[in-house]
């Protein structure tokens, strides 16, 4: 359920939730990546997902530098499901990151972005035959084995050389996060139990077509403490019959700041905790991989909406915008709380409920959020929407999925254009009536 706003807020706190470097210009208008959000909304329309490229690069560098300092033999791999868009992937690849893909669609996106297949890691608890074949054909560097059937099928597909694999194990660590974001608990649908992992390791060692590089573990997402990460490392090291490995992939899961009271560990604190645990429990010459998604991209983007109407409401004014659960499912899936502001009257104001345009009462984006005298036509910015918003976007109520607009040093460009009505009808093989035509043409 949605959590009520916990604390009063000041303008400075609010800016802290936006990508670093965001500021108010002389007119008091909010700027991200040097661009006025009001102007971005005018030029590209709303809703729009706006990425600050410099902030994105800096997050990537924070990961790379922290890991490089604490454990030089290491690699940061972007969990692309959190923001699968070629401009994001290309930017992160330029910063030296590898790419995690779950299945064929993310693999194609990573390849289209120019990622080196050798530095792609393929995941999935139910990879299809087609997806495994794609991984082999593309030369994906590492395939993560989730179950014993993955092994059988992969072995038949590899025709020359040896495919490197990691075994995903269930660490039986209950992370303190929303149940839908726990992935390493006992009974998880992801990964091998200790017994299965031992059997899988024995099978890979006998296989002439596979090479066992190591183990993989991922305990969950939006974790606000380092303890579960440490416990996961301990659990992996304690697995019986698996021995020592050259590679340990410790997954992702670091939480980000959505609200004023959120205090996630910094990237530095997280990496230090992880590598301290690795020093205590894993071979000193092992290669460590981390796979951040949310903590890499989440704080680097902002969603812009336009207010369509304001109603008195029961408890608070209802401010209805032109987006909602078709572009941000996090409040509905996980009860995630966000904050918001008008872009030209930043901070302060009276408590409102920010609601979406969709035909569900659950389509409430933020309950009890202060907005400064909101009226129809105003632009609202919701920070920290870089993770799992673009990827979970959908066409509910015929919503055209929003564009991804990149901003850097005052320049803005569309990395993904807004979906059109024609895009939406493209797969509908029976859509031919000319009455729709004027609207399709107008929207082209």
Ligand X SMILES: *Cc1c(COP(=O)(O)O)cnc(C)c1O
Binding-site residues for pyridoxal 5'-phosphate sit at: 253, 291-294, 388
Q: Does 403 bind ligand X (CB under 6 A)?
A: no
For position 123 contacting ligand X by CB under 6 A, the verdict is yes
How many angstroms separate the CA atoms of 183 and 189, rounded?
8
With binding defined as CB under 6 A, does residue 84 bind ligand X? Answer: no
226 lies in the site for ligand X, by CB under 6 A: no
Q: Minimum distance between the CB of residue 81 and ligand X, rounded to whole angstroms?
A: 6
Residues near 37 by Cβ (< 8 Å), separated by ≥ 6? Answer: 29, 30, 31, 50, 302, 304, 343, 379, 381
Q: What angle do CA 107, 109, 110 make, to 5 degrees?
A: 65
| C-alpha to C-alpha distance for 429 and 83, rounded to whole angstroms | 29
Question: Between residue 307 and residue 336, which ones bind ligand X under the rule CB under 6 A?
Answer: none
Residues 6+ apart with CB under 8 A from 440: 420, 421, 422, 425
Q: Is 33 in the site for ligand X (CB under 6 A)?
A: no
Q: Is position 389 annotated as part of the catalytic site?
A: no
The CA distance from 93 to 10, in Å, is: 37
Candidate residues 293, 331, 386, 403; the one interacting with ligand X per rule CB under 6 A: 293
Work out whether 218 is an interface residue with ligand X (CB under 6 A). yes
Our CB check for ligand X shows the closer of 76 and 341 to be 76
Burial of 23 (0-12, 13-18, 19+ CB in 10 A): exposed
Q: Closest separation between CB of residue 246 and ligand X, Å?
A: 19
- Start-to-end CA distance of the chain, whole Å, equals 39
Using the rule CB under 6 A, is 292 a contact of ligand X? yes
| 287, β-bridge pairs | 247
Instruction: Report if residue 251 touches ligand X, rule: CB under 6 A.
Output: yes
Tell me the two tokens of residue 118: 């050798």
Q: Is residue 171 at the binding interface for ligand X, with CB under 6 A as the rule? A: no
User: What is the distance of C-alpha 281 from the center of its chain?
Assistant: 29
Of 56-64, 74-82, 337-345, 408-416, the segment contacting ligand X by CB under 6 A is 74-82
Which of 35, 352, 359, 407 is an active site residue?
A: 359
List C-alpha distances in Å: 372 to 22, 68, 205, 336, 343: 19, 44, 64, 23, 10
252 makes contact with ligand X (CB under 6 A) = yes
Distance CA(344)–CA(355), nearest Å, equals 20
> Near ligand X by CB under 6 A, which window of 88-96, 227-235, 249-257, 366-374?
249-257
Q: Could you check whether the bond before residue 194 is cis, i.e. omega within 30 degrees of 0?
A: no
Provide the token pair at 77.
């791999």
Is residue 264 involved in binding ligand X (CB under 6 A)?
Answer: no
Q: How many residues bind ligand X (CB under 6 A)?
A: 17
Is residue 291 involved in binding ligand X (CB under 6 A)? yes
Q: Which of 142, 295, 300, 385 binds ligand X (CB under 6 A)?
A: 295
Does position 221 interact with ligand X (CB under 6 A)? The reply is: yes
249 vs 353 by CB, closer to ligand X: 249
Q: To the nearest whole angstrom, how small is the minimum distance from the Cβ of residue 388 to ligand X?
A: 7
Contacts with ligand X, residue ranges (CB under 6 A): 79, 81-82, 100, 123, 218, 221, 251-254, 291-295, 387
Q: Which residues have a catalytic role annotated?
A: 359
């Amino acid at each position: 359920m949605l959590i009520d706003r916990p604390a009063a807020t000041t303008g400075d706190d609010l800016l802290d939730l936006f990508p670093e470097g965001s500021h108010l210009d002389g007119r008091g208008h909010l700027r991200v990546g040097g661009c006025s959000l009001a102007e971005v909304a005018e030029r590209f329309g709303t809703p729009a997902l706006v990425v600050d490229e410099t902030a994105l690069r800096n997050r990537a560098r924070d990961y790379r530098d922290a890991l490089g300092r604490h454990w030089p033999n290491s690699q940061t791999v972007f969990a692309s499901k959190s923001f699968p868009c070629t401009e994001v992937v290309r930017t992160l690849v330029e910063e030296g990151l590898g790419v995690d893909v779950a299945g064929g669609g993310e693999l194609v996106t990573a390849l289209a972005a120019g990622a080196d297949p050798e530095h792609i890691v393929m995941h999935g608890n139910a990879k299809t035959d087609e997806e495994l074949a794609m991984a082999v054909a593309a030369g994906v560097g590492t395939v993560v084995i989730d179950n014993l059937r993955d092994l059988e099928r992969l072995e038949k597909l590899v025709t020359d050389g040896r495919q490197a694999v990691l075994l995903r194990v269930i660490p039986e660590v209950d992370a303190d996060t929303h149940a839908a974001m726990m992935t390493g608990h006992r009974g998880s649908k992801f990964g091998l139990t200790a017994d299965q992992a031992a059997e899988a390791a024995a099978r890979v060692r006998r296989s002439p077509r596979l090479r066992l590089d190591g183990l993989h573990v991922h305990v969950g997402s939006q974790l606000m403490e380092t303890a579960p990460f440490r416990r996961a490392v301990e659990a992996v090291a304690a697995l019986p019959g698996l021995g020592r490995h050259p590679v340990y992939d410790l997954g992702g899961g670091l939480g980000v700041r959505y609200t004023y009271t959120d205090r996630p560990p910094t990237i530095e604190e997280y990496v230090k905790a992880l590598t301290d645990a690795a020093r205590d429990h894993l071979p000193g010459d092992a290669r460590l991989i981390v796979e951040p998604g949310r903590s890499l991209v989440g704080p680097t983007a902002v969603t812009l909406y336009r207010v369509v109407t304001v109603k008195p409401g029961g408890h608070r004014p209802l401010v209805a915008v032109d987006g909602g659960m078709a572009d941000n499912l996090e409040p509905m899936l996980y009860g995630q709380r966000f904050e918001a502001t008008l872009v030209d009257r930043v901070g302060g104001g009276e408590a409102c409920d920010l609601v979406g345009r969709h035909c569900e009462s659950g389509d409430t984006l933020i309950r009890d959020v202060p907005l400064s005298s909101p009226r129809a036509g105003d632009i609202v910015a919701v920070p920290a929407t870089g993770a799992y918003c673009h990827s979970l976007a959908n066409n509910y109520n015929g919503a055209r999925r929003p564009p991804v607009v990149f901003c850097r040093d005052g320049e803005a460009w569309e990395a993904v254009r807004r979906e059109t009505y024609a895009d939406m009808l493209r797969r509908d093989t029976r859509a031919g009536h000319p009455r729709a035509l004027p609207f399709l043409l107008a929207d082209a």
